[in-house]
Amino acid sequence: MMRYLAGRLLRALLTIFLVVTFAFFVLRLSGDPALLIMSVDAPPESIEAFRKSWGLDQPIWMQYLAYIGHALTGDLGNSMRDGRPAIQLVLERVPATLAITVPAFFLKIAIGVPAGIYAALHRNSFADRLTMLLSVAGFTMPSFVLALLLVLVFSVQLGWLPSSGSEGMANAILPIVTLGAAGAAILARFTRSAMLEVLGQPYIRAASAKGLSWRRVVTEHALPNAAIPTTTIIGFMVGTLIAGAVVVESVFAWPGIGRLLVVSVANRDLAVVQTILLFVAATMVSANIIVDFVYGWIDPRMRTAPR
Amino acid sequence: MSEPLLQAEGLVRHYRIRHGSRLFSHPATLRAVDGVSFTLQPGRTLGLVGESGCGKTTTARLVLGLLPLTEGEIRLQGETLPQAGSMRWRELRRVMQMVYQDPLAALDRRIAVGRQVMEPLVIHAIGAPAERRDRAMAILQSVGLQAHHFDRYPHELSGGQRQRIVLARALILSPRLLVCDEPISALDVSIQAQVVNLLLDLQAEMGLAYLFISHDLRMVRQVSHEVAVMYLGRIVERGDPDRLFAAPSHPYTQALVSAIPVAHRSGRQRLILKGDPPNPVDVPTGCAFHERCPIAVARCRTETPALRPLADGRHVACHLAPGAADA
Amino acid sequence: MGVPLIDIRGLTVDFDAGQRVVRALHGVDLAIHGGEAVGLVGESGSGKSVTWLAALGLLGNRARIGGEVLFEGRNLVGAPASDLEAVRGARIAMIFQDPSSSLNPVYRIGQQLAEALQLHRGMSGAAALAEAARLLDRVGIADATRRLRDYPHELSGGMNQRVMIAMALSGQPRILVADEPTTALDATIQAQILELLQEIRRDSAMALVLISHDLGVVAENTDRVCVMYAGRIVEDAPIATIFEAPAHPYTSGLLAALPDLEGPRRRLLAIPGVVPEPWNLPLGCSFAPRCPEFERACEAAVPPAIELVHGHRAACIHARSGSA
């Protein structure tokens, strides 16, 4: 048990390390922050001074070793824009992001799971086809298109909700709905196919043959089994709570991590981008571990091998 | 006696696996095949019978070189089977072909069956395209299909016809040995007889040898010149099918034969074994069958019986088999 | 013989396959008396399982069922769901081909048995578990109390089929329908399970319907056999008669296609051709194109079942009493 846990943790750390390393090199090799931050017509000596002060004049592997060395002591560097610690900048934005991703997460489950179950139980019915049509529309439509559509209807036409900003609850509604719709679409489709798969299993017919009512067959025999794969997908959605809102935050000018990421990438604010990616990798990997353990907990077949 | 086509000498295939629950597993050895030897003459059929997990399919895969041996040696036409994937192995593979249980899974459903039958010729770069087609047509006829089947797709054919296609594809390189792993189990009863008759006809015409693996003892008796009964990775009895099925010597064979439901049971009382076969990870000491054996004695628990000849030419691995000479 | 326990009359099943409706069952007549053991033999698609799934309303809403299934004074065809639920498991129990996937993987054996006992006998809690253990013991599972805590994947196929049988017994049914109960099992395990079914039948006066593709299995375990072909019963006779004097050419064909285990080896007589697809049945007798006794009259109409002697019916225009 301990060995298994240790191995799992080691792999998780390795994944995070690889993400950070990859991000480091891609960022350094894809543009010069000095030119972006200092503006192109700045005198060459001040650009040089900027490079020196941020260590950008060092060979890239030296920069890398220095970064890793600092990161291991908990220092993730400072923002090149305002000089504050990157970690502080990022943490400031977490509540705003969670304020839309957490409600959206529950919205996905509240709509996606029941819709998928209903569609599976009424396969090929009008309701099923409609659900699947909406679902396809929901996850093929890029989220900025949906966002703009919603703005067009609810802000421009009806004037019910603000189109951007972060002044109050009303501002959060459209981002939440945009995020939730796409997730609900994926979840509905997934739940439906999980449910159909289970309904086709011999134990469902056997449960009916036992004399159980269809209602009990569905609730007591089909749902617990369909929950196993569905929970996995929901678990992975937990991993997107921090970073799943990049586009939506940008469209609605919502001051969360996603928007910070976009701005920081545009500015080549290296330390901030690195820190955000580290955060994202860490949440994704933790969600993965959690999913693994939940899987073992809800599926008895995962707990013991056949004798 | 002519040179044997196939000789298997002490075949062993062990797997290192993790045993027990996921969180508390420990390494263990799964003895899939544990010392199997046999000889197959050209044009003859060796039937391999036993229950699931007894190692018969693993044996087939070892013979074809699809699995590396842990120990032992396989000789084909007197030549030690080279490592799988090597040039020589590829050449030798033309001599032996495999026929699987599920013809639908063995065929590519997006390719017309005629092209699949020709494929081995293409792979081995044999003949010009026109010749290949002629040869495929000829083979289709010899397995009882017609020219119009050439352009059909697997889903357009019945199960029996698909198995004929699989046979045609195996035969197009004129092999000398077909390894048939449960070739008729997926077919309906009335179709099984068609395929079995076809196999016998092909053997008579082409002098093919078969390694015929099946759990259906009646069909095995129908096609085999010799039968080997496997239990937990070992051969427990081997010999002439008529004698072996009429008067099985090993208690396991006796149980297996008596388990076959027949219309009229003559004489012998049905022998019903207790329990399931043990896990090949935890093979009992001594004779692997002793825990389920109705006549086991103390010696069976400690000493593994070797395969010994009986007076009638059969071989049996049982301490208590009457008439078995001590080796 | 008195009133049959269950009387299936003219049972038809049509599957709605989207563009077309396919008839899988073409009017099956089958009566089973109390305590009787009847075998249903046929190849895949012959309708042997569909007959019983239709009788119990287990085919789902894409199947349209016609005819009558008279059981304990009711017609089960078109009966309300609650009536069918009261019959299933309690009066007519069914076990299936693949025991390990017929049990729900997320529940323990004990929970699944207790559920059946709660349903059929109103038992719950410790009483249900105690009875579950007794049933497991009854079907020959050693150490029953401990096994209650196992999940299906922890047991072998043979053990799981024993559990399924225990579950079927929990309702103390009048009829047990065993649909290919041993097809997925090894030979020595098959023998164990069939022996168990025999033993239970001897003790309980329960009727047994044994569905199998294997004539041997049916021969050893039933008194009477119905041979099905392409959605119809083509022959219905006592076991001995089927083997000694089969009246339908399909039955004779099946017997000739089976190799023997004893005696001299002979070339198998295969039935030529293939089973027709249900949407593409030949005119008249479905077996006509494969039949060695084919004549023009066979295509004229579907031959009705003729009673040759009492208890022996065959649906063939050539069928004569005591002939093949």
| For chain A, the helix, strand and coil percentages under 3-state DSSP, each to the nearest 5 | 75, 0, 20
Interchain contact, A212 vs C98, CB within 8 Å: no
- Tell me the chain A residues in contact with residue B22 when contact means C-beta distances shorter than 8 Å: 4, 296, 302-305
pLDDT at position A144 over 60? yes
Segments in chain B forming alpha helices (H): 56-63, 87-93, 103-106, 113-123, 129-142, 159-171, 189-206, 217-223, 241-246, 251-258, 298-302
Question: Per-residue confidence at A96, pLDDT binned at 50, 70, 90?
Answer: confident
Question: Does any domain span residue C320?
Answer: no
Interchain contact, A209 vs C94, CB within 8 Å: yes
Name which of B51, B219, B263 is nearest C188 (Cβ-Cβ): B51
Give the length of chain A: 307
pLDDT of residue A40: 66
Q: Which residue has the tokens 């219905």?
A: C236
Interstrand relation of C6-16 and C175-179 (parallel, antiparallel or unpaired):
unpaired
Domain count for chain C, please give it: 1
Shortest distance, CA C200 to any CA of chain A (angstroms) = 19
Interchain contact, C58 vs A211, CB within 8 Å: no
Tens digits of residue pLDDT in B75-115:
999 889 888 888 888 888 889 999 988 888 888 989 999 99
Question: Per-residue confidence at C322, pLDDT binned at 50, 70, 90?
Answer: very low
Query: Mapping DSSP to helix (H, G, I), strand (E, B) and coil, where does residue B109 land?
Result: coil
Q: Which residues constitute the domain of residue C228?
A: 6-314
Interchain contact, A225 vs C153, CB within 8 Å: no
Name which of C96, C107, C120 is nearest A211 (Cβ-Cβ): C120
Question: Per-residue confidence at A146, pLDDT binned at 50, 70, 90?
Answer: confident
Interchain contact, A301 vs C105, CB within 8 Å: yes
How would you list the strands of the sheet with C232-238, edge to edge?
C92-95, C175-179, C207-212, C37-41, C224-229, C232-238, C312-314, C306-309
Shortest distance, CA B111 to any CA of chain C (angstroms) = 23
pLDDT at position C235 over 70? yes
Nearest to C209 by CA among C37, C45, C29: C37
Shortest distance, CA B197 to any CA of chain C (angstroms) = 7
Instruction: Decide if C106 contacts A223 (C-beta within 8 A).
Output: no
pLDDT at position A36 over 70? no
What is the C-alpha to C-alpha distance for residues C71 and A64, in angstroms, rounded to an integer?
Answer: 81
Structural domains for chain B: 6-95+175-316 (3.40.50.300), 103-174 (no CATH)
Question: Does any domain span residue C323?
Answer: no
Question: Does any domain span residue C16?
Answer: yes
The average pLDDT across A203-221 equals 94
State how far Cα B153 lies from the chain centre.
28
Question: Does any domain span residue C321?
Answer: no
Residue of C nearest to A210 (CA): C89
Residue contacts between A and C (CB atoms, under 8 Å): 82
- Tell me the chain C residues in contact with residue A208 when contact means C-beta distances shorter than 8 Å: 58, 88
Q: What burial class does residue B110 get, using C-beta atoms within 10 Å of its C-beta: 0-12 exposed, 13-18 middle, 19+ buried?
A: exposed
Shortest distance, CA A198 to any CA of chain C (angstroms) = 10
Tens digits of residue pLDDT in C68-86:
999 998 999 999 999 999 9
Q: What ipTM was estimated for this complex?
A: 0.90
Contacts of A54 (CB under 8 A, 6+ apart): A33, A34, A80
Name which of C156, C215, C253 is nearest B276 (Cβ-Cβ): C156
Query: Mapping DSSP to helix (H, G, I), strand (E, B) and coil, where does residue C237 land?
Result: strand
Nearest to A37 by CA among A293, A262, A306, A265: A265
Question: Per-residue confidence at A73, pLDDT binned at 50, 70, 90?
Answer: confident
pLDDT at position A306 over 60? no
Interchain contact, B260 vs C261, CB within 8 Å: yes
What are B's interface residues with A at a Cβ cutoff of 8 A? 19-25, 279
- Tell me the chain C residues in contact with residue A231 when contact means C-beta distances shorter than 8 Å: none
pLDDT at position A39 over 70? no
- Each residue's pLDDT expressed in tens, for chain B with a length of 327 residues: 578 999 999 999 998 887 765 556 678 888 899 999 999 999 999 999 998 889 999 999 999 888 999 999 999 998 898 888 888 888 888 899 999 888 888 889 899 999 999 999 988 888 888 889 999 999 998 888 888 889 999 988 888 889 999 999 999 999 999 999 998 888 888 889 989 999 999 999 999 999 999 988 999 999 999 999 999 999 999 999 999 998 999 999 999 998 888 776 655 567 888 888 888 888 888 999 999 999 999 999 999 999 999 888 899 999 988 765 554
Instruction: Decide if B46 contacts B56 (C-beta within 8 A).
Output: no
Question: Does any domain span residue C322?
Answer: no
Contacts of C116 (CB under 8 A, 6+ apart): A210, A211, C89, C167, C170, C171
Shortest distance, CA C299 to any CA of chain B (angstroms) = 22
Name which of A205, A224, A306 is nearest C58 (Cβ-Cβ): A205
pLDDT of residue A305: 44
How would you list the strands of the sheet with C6-16, edge to edge?
C21-32, C6-16, C63-71, C74-75
What is the C-alpha to C-alpha distance for residues A174 and A245, in angstroms, rounded to an integer?
Answer: 12
Q: What burial class does residue C215 get, using C-beta atoms within 10 Å of its C-beta: 0-12 exposed, 13-18 middle, 19+ buried?
A: buried
CATH number at residue C155: 3.40.50.300
Residue of C nearest to A213 (CA): C85
Nearest to B256 by CA among B280, B230, B235: B230
Tens digits of residue pLDDT in B54-71:
999 999 999 988 899 999
- Give C190 or A82, the one with higher predicted confidence: C190
Tens digits of residue pLDDT in A217-226:
999 999 999 9
Question: Does any domain span residue C54?
Answer: yes
Question: Does any domain span residue C18?
Answer: yes
Residue C11, strand partner residues: C28
Neighbours of chain B (3+ CB pairs under 8 A): A, C
Contacts of C186 (CB under 8 A, 6+ apart): B51, B52, B215, B277, C157, C158
Structural domains for chain A: 2-72 (no CATH), 92-303 (1.10.3720.10)
What is the C-alpha to C-alpha distance for residues C17 and B102, in angstroms, rounded to an integer?
Answer: 26
Question: Does any domain span residue C1?
Answer: no
pLDDT of residue B327: 43
The pLDDT mean for chain A works out to 84
The average pLDDT across C306-315 equals 92
